[in-house]
Amino acid sequence: MLNEGFGTSARRSERVLLRIPIRVVGNDTRGEAFDETTYTLVVNRSGALIAVAHLLHPGAVIKITNIKSQISCSFVVVMRAAGSLSGTSEWGVKCLAPEMEIWGVHFPERSKEPAEADLTHVLLECRECSSREMAALTAEEYRRLEAQSRLPRPCPRCGVIKDWKFVVTEIGLGGISPSLPVPSASGLTPRHEADRPRDQTLAVKLPLEIRRPDGSEESTKTENISESSLCFACDLEMQIGDRVYVSVGLDPPAEKRDIPACIIWRSPAQGKGRAFYGAVLEKTNDTPGASYRSSVFAEARRVQL
Ligand SMILES: [Zn+2]
């Protein structure tokens, strides 16, 4: 269900893995009122996947408040998620007033043009007014953003062209968050993993090829990336500790290189065997400090300051 837009038949906007603190008020399956402070795991324009310890009935209406913005909306519980990334029960919920943009992110309508497939979706923020948008960028725009960590584009709120920047989140599902298992297979963990204070994550949907040692492979897109890890959804059946080779980005195939990576978590999804995976990139001798596009992150950090 993670990949199916929270139980709706088709996703009408890009999803983004984003941890947003929320307050949920409703009634549990016993009819008792509850008030729980928790967070989102994945959001899109019309819904979310949220962690809620209380048991909920599909069809029940709950009130969710975005704690930061204090915007509240009613949501319908669609279903309980098959897997759990957070260690607690997770629920797909559908917003009854999506126009309120409770997540503080503008999700443009998906274009029906074939060109949509060539666009790269990136969570961006206006540097002037902090409006957020899951922006659909051309390859040229993305490369410019990647090179300069800023991209001039129209801001609906500012009403003029402003610089937009990557949104850097400190807890991403592609990174190692406190609620997720830390890779324990010794030797597979990058040595400097512990040295870094936090994995800074960008929500970027880049073309991604996954290859397994047995030769099976799949093309998909990243859900988010950090300097040393990435999160993606795919149909390949993999287990924690499995070694894979990943090739990420918009470069032509000849210029791409395979980076060895280790699966550190997976979250099964209902139907089709599709699952979310988190993987850490391995550092190897021939690629010193092997992380891809580490300049993106250095620059992104600088711009955030
Ligand atoms: Zn703005």
- Quickly tell me which residue has 């060539």 as its tokens: 118
Q: How confident is the model at residue 63 (pLDDT cuts 50, 70, 90)?
A: very high
Written as six digits, the tokens of 78 are 């669609």
Chain-centre distance for alpha carbon 39:
14
Distance 221 CA to ligand 1 centre (A): 28
pLDDT at 108: 85
Tell me: pLDDT of 99 over 80.
Answer: yes
Greatest Cα pair distance, the chain, in angstroms, is 60
Per-range mean pLDDT, top range of 1-10, 106-115, 127-136: 127-136
pLDDT band at 294 (very low <50, low <70, confident <90, very high): low
Cα(275)–Cα(266) distance, integer angstroms: 7
Cα-to-centroid distance, 157 and ligand 1 (Å): 5
Asked if the model's pLDDT at residue 67 lies above 50, the reply is yes
User: CA dist 264 to 159, 175, 177, 227, 277, Å?
Assistant: 43, 10, 11, 15, 8
Report the mean per-residue pLDDT for the chain.
81
* CA–CA gap between residue 271 and residue 82 (Å, rounded): 10
CA of 272 to the centre of ligand 1 (A): 40
4-13, 30-39, 71-80, 197-206: least confident range:
4-13
In the chain, what percentage of residues exceed pLDDT 70?
74
User: What does the pLDDT read at residue 267?
Assistant: 80
For residue 163, give both structure tokens.
């610089």
Q: What is the pTM of this model?
A: 0.80
pLDDT attached to residue 300:
59
- Range with the lowest mean pLDDT among 21-30, 93-102, 283-292? 283-292
pLDDT for residue 295: 54
Predicted confidence (pLDDT) per residue in 1-22, tens digit:
444 444 444 456 788 888 899 9
Give distance in angstroms: CA of 154 to centre of ligand 1: 8
Q: For ligand 1, an ion, list residues with CB under 5 A.
A: 126, 128-129, 131, 155, 157-158, 162
**Chain-centre distance of CA 74, in angstroms?**
23
Cα-based distances in Å from 48 to 84, 262, 273 = 14, 28, 21
CA of 185 to the centre of ligand 1 (A): 45
Sign of CA dihedral 130, 232, 172, 245: negative
Output the CA 159–ligand 1 centroid distance in Å: 7
Quote the CA–CA distance of 64 and 94 in Å, as a whole number. Answer: 11
What is the 152 CA–ligand 1 centroid distance (Å)?
Answer: 11
What pLDDT, on a 0 to 100 scale, did the predictor assign at position 146?
Answer: 87
Q: Which of 112, 97, 84 is nearest to 47 (CA)?
A: 97
Q: For residues 287 and 266, what is the distance between their CA atoms, to the nearest angstrom?
A: 27
Residue 143 has pLDDT above 50, yes or no: yes
262 pLDDT more than 70: yes
DSSP string covering 154-178, please?
E-TTTSSEEEEEEPEESS-TTS--T
What pLDDT, on the 0 to 100 scale, is given for residue 165? 94
Distance 150 CA to ligand 1 centre (A): 13
Amino acid at 271: G
Report the alpha-carbon distance of residue 30 to residue 217 in Å, rounded. Answer: 46
Q: How far apart are the two ends of the chain, measured CA to CA in Å?
A: 37
Please check the confidence at residue 281 and state whether its pLDDT lies above 90.
no
Q: What is the CA radius of gyration of the chain?
A: 19
CA 130 to ligand 1 center in whole angstroms: 6
* pLDDT, tens digit (0-9, with 9 covering 90-100), for 179-210: 444 443 333 333 344 444 456 789 999 999 99
Tell me the C-alpha distance between 70 and 72, whole Å.
6
- Measured in Å, residue 161 CA sits from the centre of ligand 1 at 8
- Higher pLDDT, residue 228 or 26: 26
Give the C-alpha separation, 270 to 278, whole Å: 18
Give 171's pLDDT tier (boundaries 50, 70, 90): low
**Distance from the alpha carbon of residue 44 to the mean position of ligand 1, in angstroms:** 21
Average pLDDT of span 103-121: 79
Ligand 1 midpoint to CA 117 (Å)? 27
pLDDT mean over 155-161: 95
What's the CA-to-centroid distance between 223 and ligand 1, angstroms? Answer: 25
